[in-house]
Structure 1
Amino acid sequence: MSTDNTLPIEHLRWDAASARGPRELNADATAAVTDPGAGRWAFAVADGVGDNPAAAAAARTAADAAVGAATSDPRGAIMVAREALADAPDTGDCVLVVAVGGAGDRCEIAWVGDCRAYLWAEGTLRQVTEDHTLAAYFRARNLPVAPGMEHVVTTSVRTAAAELIGTADVPLPAGRLLLCSDGVHKTLPTARLRTILERAADPGGAVTDLVDTAHRLGGQDNATALVVDRTAEHTANSSAA
């Protein structure tokens, strides 16, 4: 497997950026693996629960374990990440989103907690994931939501059973896939997310702008973004195969 962020065999490009912000340390993590021989790839963003070394270690351990196992099954990859945390007693807990794809124009996503995945294509931004938070739980039942509920997750890597893991199977045509921690999506309005993803010339520009803008607008959390571009050339080649 490779972590090269230029993949001519699949016509994918990706990049990631992460910034500590006003926190004591950065407890977010990203990870990526590609298997050109098998035509598969996997990306992950994890967000440690807390602002301490154990949280940071949990995010790094979970992200690495997930992408190492995710080239076939993102739900299973999160369970592998759970096992990795169980085997590392000095780590804390984290939330996680994993995206897996291949030579076709589909992408499988799994998540726990409030890391998110967005798909931008043809001028439209779509939120693929649904937050596993107390606020989302109350909102779905038309109950009053207190501000603090937005930051209380109802699933995490250490605690989620397989049936609690969120999953989605989405098209990934020529366009952009964004994975991010809540330090990005809870600070930037949807319109700003869409504008940045639409205007950035490449994944590197997109992730840098997302993270910098989140903190410039007053974000108080770590901010992490990973963007994957699939080019029209790949789509055309796939259709002709």
Structure 2
Amino acid sequence: MNSTPIWHTASERGPRTVNADAVGAFARHGHSATFALADGVGDSPAAARAARVAASAAARSLEENGPVAAILAAQAAVRALDGKGDAVLVVAVPFEGGYQVAWVGDVRAYAWDGVLLHQVTHDHTLAQYFRDHGQEPAPHMEHVVTTSVRTARPDEIGTAVAGTGGLVLTSDGVHKQLSLTTMRDVLARPEAGAAGLVETAIGAGGRDNATALVVEPTRLADLRTIPIVTAA
């Protein structure tokens, strides 16, 4: 991949005190963009700052070093803060077959080809841990992450491949509010995009920050004359 794709992002604070979600994107000359989405742990300025620092550091990590190195760059940046603030993070680094993805926590990445939406990440939460071991989790476990930017060891960082031209990154304020089918139906509307996902999540009663980043599949991007751009 050697050209910057059409992408757009949207974010809403919802009923929280601050918006502790952040998005980062960076493309060096002659390269496609690396994308990152971070969700600060908690509802505080420190959480928001950690998310912004993590997303920026991850997106600006050298593409050739891969997504795990991007997570570790974000970790170094967050640990260099004043000891306060943490975040969960997903980062997508382009390669010829799509995107290499790494993550910590419960932010998600989906492969999106304009028709099919496929989740490629696996939540690092206490609830998912119990499900993976055949047990039904308590509801509060959905919000307890088992890895984060500040605390994760390298071997705890999740990795996956989104092997299509399109990509969707979301914070849990989107994907824990909307089913996969609903998300796909929203994305199928050409005018919706990232803003449509966020608006639908908040409209459905979302109680968290809601953020989405959508990279258009190539075959759809070629049909669009005006990209939808909503700043997070």
TM-score in same-fold range (> 0.5): yes
Instruction: Specify which of 164, 189, 202 is matched with residue 215 of structure 1.
Output: 202
Rounded to whole Å, the distance in 2 between the matches of 1:191 and 1:100 is 26
Instruction: Specify which of 164, 173, 178 is matched with residue 183 of structure 1.
Output: 173
1:60-92 CA distances to partner (integer Å, 9 max, x unpaired)?
000001111152211011011111011111540
Rounded to whole Å, the distance in 2 between the matches of 1:230 and 1:36 is 21
In the superposition, relative to structure 1, how do residues 194 and 234 fare at CA in structure 2: closer, same or farther (>3 Å)?
closer
Contact kept in structure 1, 2:4 and 2:33, CA below 8 Å: no
- After superposing on structure 2, the runs of 4+ consecutive aligned residues of structure 1 that deviate more than 3 Å are none
Instruction: Specify which of 202, 211, 224 is matched with residue 224 of structure 1.
Output: 211
Q: How does 1:3-42 map to 2 (within 5 A)?
A: 10=3, 12-37=5-30, 39-42=31-34
Q: How does 1:10-159 map to 2 (within 5 A)?
A: 10=3, 12-37=5-30, 39-72=31-64, 73-89=66-82, 91-102=84-95, 104-121=96-113, 123-159=115-151
Rounded to whole Å, the distance in 1 between the matches of 2:78 and 2:171 is 19
Instruction: Report the 3-state secondary structure (helix = DSSP H, G, I; strand = E; otherwise coil) of the residue aligned with 2:39.
Output: strand
Q: Quick check: 226-235 or 20-29, which moved more?
A: 226-235
Contact kept in structure 2, 1:11 and 1:233, CA below 8 Å: no
Q: CA deviation at 1:107?
A: 1.0
How many residues of Structure 1 are paired with residues of Structure 2 in the alignment?
221
Rounded to whole Å, the distance in 1 between the matches of 2:82 and 2:61 is 21
- Aligned-pair identity in percent equals 50
1:4 maps to: none
Tell me which protein shows more strand as a share of its residues: 1
Task: Supply the AA of the counterpart residue of 1:10.
Answer: S
2:228 maps to: none
Q: Which runs of 5+ in 1 are unaligned?
A: 1-6, 236-241
Could you state the TM-score of these two structures normalised by the residue count of structure 2? 0.90
1:93-140 CA distances to partner (integer Å, 9 max, x unpaired)?
0000000104x2321000000000011225221001000000000000
Instruction: Report the 3-state secondary structure (helix = DSSP H, G, I; strand = E; otherwise coil) of the residue aligned with 2:136.
Output: coil
Rounded to whole Å, the distance in 1 between the matches of 2:221 and 2:182 is 28
